[in-house]
């Protein structure tokens, strides 16, 4: 295998459209009961058109790109900026791109650029993460 | 804000996994550390009132959004683990001629031996309607 082939790859997950049920489930599961996420009347009273997704739901989706794109990795740091609101019906694609790769005590440390985009390609959240890949399986060498 | 003591329980963790669509079975977290954003939810779930930070700042009835959120992890948190949270609300500041007020909040998570396992920083934004 060439060095190029050994380089870590980016990762991507597509999510189903966000529904009101998605938000109700997340409200209960996260403890974020803010009415603007689950009650359209309350959202309108705050001057919004409708309920909007919890930012931390989308951050949770980005977290899945780390844990599913790099199984067994350790997350050292993870940060996101909330670029614009996510309405009901949004269909998100969450991506990680490898910014840099380093070796540390025999483990690979990746710095990743993260983005959550909607179906039109507009960025909803952007961020960074630093993860440590699990120790590589050592080749057995001599094959019995 | 008083500190919040919490325990990672399987029912709450299972509900969180379902809510974000994480396919891992809850029992996997006896070995693996909990999903990266779960600690913030754990803090909210075990706080005396939901939206604990918003209550402390006195923002009920206003639209409060997240502007940014970051996590730095120093140790694992697993199913059955105890976590102690302390939160510090920073000094608010204005932008855009006072139509946006930003409030920084720092939440520290420690294990039962007092070791910091995670530092969470968030910036809330209050939008004037």
Torsion of CA A115, B64, B52, B102, to 10 degrees: 80
CA separation for the pair A28, A12 (Å, rounded)? 27
What residues have CB less than 8 Å from A82, skipping those under 6 apart? A55, A124, A125, B65, B66, B67, B68, B69
Q: Nearest by CB to B36, which of A15, A25, A78?
A: A78
Q: Report the mean per-residue pLDDT for chain B.
A: 90
| Averaged pLDDT for residues B56-70 | 77
Q: Inform me whether the pLDDT recorded for B56 exceeds 70.
A: no
At residue B60, the pLDDT reads: 60
Nearest to B20 by CA among B3, B38, B33: B38
At residue A6, the pLDDT reads: 58
User: What number of CA atoms fall less than 13 Å from residue A109's CA on the CB side?
Assistant: 8
Q: Using a CB-CB distance cutoff of 8 angstroms, which residues of chain B are in contact with residue A17?
A: none
pLDDT in tens, A50-64: 999 999 999 999 999
Q: Which of 75-114 (A) contact B at CB < 8 A?
A: 75-82, 85
Q: Inform me whether the pLDDT recorded for A144 exceeds 80.
A: no
Pairing of strands A107-117, A93-104: antiparallel
- Residue B97 at interface with chain A, using a CB cutoff of 8 Å: no
pLDDT in tens, A8-61: 899 999 999 999 999 999 999 999 988 899 999 999 988 899 999 999 999 999
CA separation for the pair B113, B115 (Å, rounded)? 6
Q: Inform me whether the pLDDT recorded for B129 exceeds 60.
A: no
At residue B82, the pLDDT reads: 98
Indicate the burial class of A23 (C-beta count within 10 angstroms; 0-12, 13-18, 19 or more).
buried
Tokens 């609300």 -> residue: B89
What residues have CB less than 8 Å from B96, skipping those under 6 apart? none
What residues have CB less than 8 Å from A96, skipping those under 6 apart? A10, A11, A12, A62, A65, A66, A69, A112, A113, A114, A129
At residue B65, the pLDDT reads: 87
């Amino acid at each position: 295998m060439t060095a190029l082939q050994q380089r870590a790859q980016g990762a991507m997950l597509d999510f189903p459209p966000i529904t009101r049920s998605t938000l109700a489930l997340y409200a209960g599961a996260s403890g974020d009961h803010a009415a603007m996420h689950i009650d359209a009347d309350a959202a309108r009273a705050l001057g919004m058109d409708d309920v909007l997704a919890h930012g931390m739901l989308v951050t949770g989706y980005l977290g899945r790109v780390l844990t599913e794109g790099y199984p067994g990795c350790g997350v050292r740091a993870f940060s996101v900026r909330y670029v614009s609101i996510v309405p009901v019906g949004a269909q998100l694609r969450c991506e990680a791109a490898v910014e840099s790769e380093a070796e540390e005590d025999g483990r690979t440390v990746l710095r990743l650029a993260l983005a959550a985009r909607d179906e039109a390609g507009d960025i909803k959240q952007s961020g960074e993460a630093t993860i440590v890949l699990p120790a590589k399986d050592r080749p057995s060498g001599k094959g019995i | 804000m008083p500190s919040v003591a919490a325990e990672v329980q399987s029912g709450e963790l299972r509900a969180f996994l379902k809510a974000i669509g994480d396919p891992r079975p809850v029992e996997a977290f006896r070995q693996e550390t909990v999903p990266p954003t779960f600690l913030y939810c754990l803090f909210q779930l075990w706080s005396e009132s939901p939206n604990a930070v918003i209550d402390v700042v006195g923002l009920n009835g206003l639209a409060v959004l997240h502007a940014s959120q970051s996590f730095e992890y120093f140790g694992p948190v697993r199913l059955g683990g105890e976590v102690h949270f302390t939160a510090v609300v920073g000094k608010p500041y204005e932008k855009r001629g006072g139509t946006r007020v930003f409030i920084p909040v720092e939440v520290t998570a420690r294990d039962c031996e007092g070791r910091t396992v995670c530092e969470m920083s968030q910036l809330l934004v209050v939008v004037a309607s």
